[in-house]
A and B are shown apart, each in its own frame.
Chain A
């Protein structure tokens, strides 16, 4: 229910870390792309989450300052989208698709296996801070059902038997491709963009 904030069962204990100057500079680089500063909200939140792992209250305030908005406007957006975490999350976030195709192909069993193996439920983090688990509505890879996403990387046709290997694999979240420089330099005036 996107009108209910799933990740805010409890208020965060403290304001958490803020954004560094480098991160703020990255966010400012998005300004020329849009007519209003507010439109940089989603990219800014992505950048912030990439930098500090989640969206802390301090980060919300920092972004609000950058975008010239009240902090409540930032929190309003953060709590709508399911990808933004308002609590610290694990190093690897396991996202299991639970939509119809995946469910027909055994996503329930996969979810059960993860929950018993890690001892956590939906939207929780293991005590050692290594893994978080969440379910997701359709990852748009129904031809490879059931799918499991570990941070950025999609794992296709995952069976509960493969799970041990997958959890032990340190590179299970790395994409085997060069990263794009989107968050480093905007298009437009700078023709050399480092490829």
Chain B
């Protein structure tokens, strides 16, 4: 069934991104409504909508705003348009086609939080989108929607675009703030949280593009409408992305809580797989959330979720809670990349590990070394020189990094661990089969080629290729954890 397009009402080929079009579609009415309210009322109102952040973590925006200290004079709003999570592109689609929806959200959020300056941190790869959004900002200034005394309310706010230069970790809120301050995009140790001490040591709110774009619609259509969409803890509408070998890759809007199967096969969504292939695996929330088994596996009997069995998991609901039941980190950005049955799972593993080893900022040892280590392990598995216990080794590395054991500054190592963990856990039979098909001495030859010391040193005694070496945890210990 087709859902009403709210955020994406203007997202089509040849759509006009001008202020005229946006106003004709009823734009900037929510702003008038908001300016008639008191800022604190507005915060309470958004709290009532339980508008959970669309950027990945799912933290409610209204609650975030209420953390700001009450006696502040300067507040900054950072808009996170550093959309770098593969394969997410919904913010790009939104900013390209309806930049004023984002601007209206920014002005309302700015008014609610008494923001003085809003910075849109946009990734450097967005060039066309940058020009579109900059033009929209110019239009808004000319129309008195930004600058001094917005719409005669006495509220002043400036809005600037700040362009990034290619770093995934700048999508993390404190990394973004550091980058805005003109430093390396190194995430900060929290607390203090940005709401207390953020940009230039002032209270700061960081919100995702899509989160802010939802705000005007909640105001015009009301809480009842908003809370009528979605599932129990996940309210509202969401832009889903689907890419990979599907018939209609793209961005589609639906209320939260559609199934992964619908996103891939629905005729209003992905439109099914190319050449009627089956799905091997899908990462339903961006690659850092982890992978689900596809429909090349048999259907589960009784419909009970059991991640230890090789069953079709495409019935996973795309809301903020259900993915956790399938061993995933969360909903993430609700961007699905679909992997067809003819793809070698080793290539997927290699690609994902390469991404995270490339994007780790290098501050925390276990992330810097762990992502690089996993990348090297994945490379040798892909090249046909893996060892059976490399799979245990990967599982072990993923257990020893990230915020979940409380070892890292930001969530990147968790995002690196979950896809690897779920891939190794869910596709272990295939990995084992592939490694079993290798030539018997492949691992030994590769080690002699790449790092002879690991084989030759008397103390190591060729242990690098021994079936029992390589990991610090026994399989029993791994199971217990």
| A residues lining the B interface (CB < 8 Å) | 1-4, 33-36, 38-43, 45-46, 67, 76-77, 80-84, 95, 98-101, 103-105, 136-145, 149, 152-154, 175, 177-182, 186-188, 191, 193, 195
Complex CA–CA separation, A68 to B128 (angstroms)? 32
Contact present for B357 and A104 (CB under 8 Å)? no
Known: A83-B166, A100-B337. A76 touches B141 (CB 8 A): no
Contact present for B352 and A100 (CB under 8 Å)? yes
Known: A46-B165, A187-B147. A140 touches B123 (CB 8 A): yes
Beta-carbon nearest neighbor of B133 in chain A: A180
Q: Residues of B contacting A188 with CB < 8 Å?
A: 147, 158
Contact present for A178 and B125 (CB under 8 Å)? no
- A101's partner among B86, B131, B181, B347 (CB-CB below 8 A) is B86
16 contacts between A and B (CB under 8 A): A2-B358, A3-B360, A33-B117, A36-B181, A39-B182, A40-B182, A42-B163, A100-B86, A100-B283, A104-B339, A137-B84, A137-B359, A141-B89, A142-B335, A144-B249, A175-B127
User: For the complex, is B427 an interface residue (Cβ under 8 Å from A)?
Assistant: no
User: For the complex, is B434 an interface residue (Cβ under 8 Å from A)?
Assistant: no
Known: A2-B361, A77-B182, A100-B352. A195 touches B142 (CB 8 A): yes
Closest 5 CB pairs of A and B: A3-B362, A41-B182, A81-B165, A142-B87, A142-B243
User: For the complex, is B185 an interface residue (Cβ under 8 Å from A)?
Assistant: yes
Contact present for A178 and B182 (CB under 8 Å)? no
Contact present for B89 and A3 (CB under 8 Å)? no
Interface set, chain B 159-182, CB cutoff 8 A to A: 159-169, 179-182
Q: Residues of B contacting A76 with CB < 8 Å?
A: 183-184
Contact with A along B75-109 (1 / 0, CB 8 A): 00000000111111101100000000000000000
User: For the complex, is B135 an interface residue (Cβ under 8 Å from A)?
Assistant: yes
Contact present for B131 and A179 (CB under 8 Å)? yes
Contact present for A140 and B163 (CB under 8 Å)? no
Complex CA–CA separation, A17 to B146 (angstroms)? 39
Beta-carbon nearest neighbor of B163 in chain A: A46
Complex CA–CA separation, A5 to B340 (angstroms)? 35
Complex CA–CA separation, A119 to B141 (angstroms)? 48
Contact present for B131 and A2 (CB under 8 Å)? no
- B357's partner among A1, A43, A84, A149 (CB-CB below 8 A) is A1
Q: Residues of B contacting A154 with CB < 8 Å?
A: 127-128
